[in-house]
Homo-oligomer: A and B are copies of this chain.
Amino acid sequence: MPKTNGSPLIIDCHGHYTTAPKALEAWRNQQIAGIKDPTAKPKVADLKISDDDIRETILGNQLKLMNERGNDMTLFSPRASFMAHHIGDFEVSSTWAAICNELCFRVSELFPEHFVPVAMLPQSPGVDPATCIPELEKCVKEYGAVGINLNPDPSGGHWTSPPLTDKHWYPIYEKMVEHDLPAMIHVSTSCNACFHTTGAHYLNADTTAFMQCLTGDLFKDFPTLKFLIPHGGGAVPYHWGRFRGLAQELKKPLLEEHLLNNIFFDTCVYHQPGIDLLNKVIPVKNVLFASEMIGAVRGIDPQTGHYYDDTKRYVEACPQLSDADRAQIFEGNTRRVFSRLDTRLKAKGL
């Protein structure tokens, strides 16, 4: 349902709490110190962040830019690069995820018109993903999370977990299906010197995840499972012909049938030609508006005079989209893919 003025809600499906109060990072550093020196280990209660602290970090940052750009709402998850699932063991990840998820929940409570929580999981390399389920359940039931971020490489650039099509991941998928929760497939910081985190590892992971799904038959086992591939799908739309051809060689169905009922792409592509290509090759129904603001690329593009990550401008200027297409990308697709968001919005009369 559009806004009262007839224009669509502008829902950014990919935002992280990158501006959390400094106390959070200080606590995390203390937690990391505690891995080697248990006497340094902080208690959860040592972290003091007031509602005013949170308000300040949001009002002067995300909400300010959302207002400037005309974005109404952001699906908001903990900072991706700080998930750092490779650090410590499951207990370390579990405590850290609980803290970060609670903070995003508090943001959503303080700004209920503008932020909706998406949960990170307490993944840890070599640990059964089923261990993430209690945190996932809590975030859905107590925090109203409408989606999760799933890290296909909790090792941080060493890629030691099985592909996403492996039964290793099925406990998570069963919960996703049960709650109709989509997962954004999003890695965290790279601790492999070859991969720059936001310039290589993120994009590589997007391409890798898509190709894992292409070679497998995961969506036969989970016909309603939904994956959102961020950063415009990594290299995928640019190489759409390559992927169509590879699917053909592997005797898979056409990608529309094989993958596009279950895989979606966001619009975190930071220039007009990229967004134009995305919308030329990927069906409108599979594209969800997002900016990942405030994130990896915070500057102003000297070629346009606007922020690189003000992706709304590119979607608006994209010549092959109709107004109806844009309404799908800004609102309709996200409400369809994130069905719990739709329920929440309908309850508010939106």
Contact = CB atoms under 8 A, between A and B. Distances in A.
Contact of A277 (B196, B274, B301): B274
A163 B280 CA distance: 35
26 contacts: A162-B194, A163-B194, A195-B208, A195-B211, A196-B211, A196-B215, A196-B246, A199-B242, A200-B207, A200-B208, A203-B204, A203-B207, A203-B234, A231-B242, A235-B238, A238-B269, A239-B269, A240-B273, A240-B274, A241-B297, A241-B301, A242-B269, A244-B271, A244-B303, A273-B281, A277-B277
Contacts of A242: 198-199, 231, 269-271, 296-297, 308
A5 to B, nearest CB: 30
B204 A246 contact: no
A245 interface: yes
A64 interface: no
A237 B237 CA distance: 11
Interface stretch (A21-29, A74-82, A152-160, A338-346): A152-160
A239 B239 CA distance: 12
A224 interface: no
Nearest to A297: B245
Given A269-B238, A277-B277, A299 B194 contact: no
B238 A274 contact: yes
Contacts of A237: 238
A162 to B, nearest CB: 7
Contacts of A204: 200, 203-204, 207-208, 235
B244 A301 contact: yes
**8 nearest A-B residue pairs (beta carbon):** A241-B271, A245-B297, A241-B270, A235-B235, A238-B238, A204-B204, A199-B211, A245-B308
Interface in A184-212: 192-196, 198-200, 203-204, 207-208, 211-212
Contacts of A207: 199-200, 203-204, 207, 235
A219 interface: no
Contacts of A269: 238-239, 241-242
A193 B231 CA distance: 23
Interface in A306-338: 308-309
Interface of A: 152-153, 157-159, 161-163, 192-196, 198-200, 203-204, 207-208, 211-212, 214-215, 231-232, 234-235, 237-246, 248-249, 269-274, 276-277, 280-281, 296-299, 301, 303, 308-309
A298 B240 contact: no
Contacts of A238: 232, 235, 237-238, 269, 274, 277
Given A152-B194, A240-B273, A271-B281, 11 more contacts: A159-B195, A194-B208, A196-B214, A198-B246, A203-B207, A234-B235, A241-B308, A242-B269, A245-B301, A248-B299, A273-B281
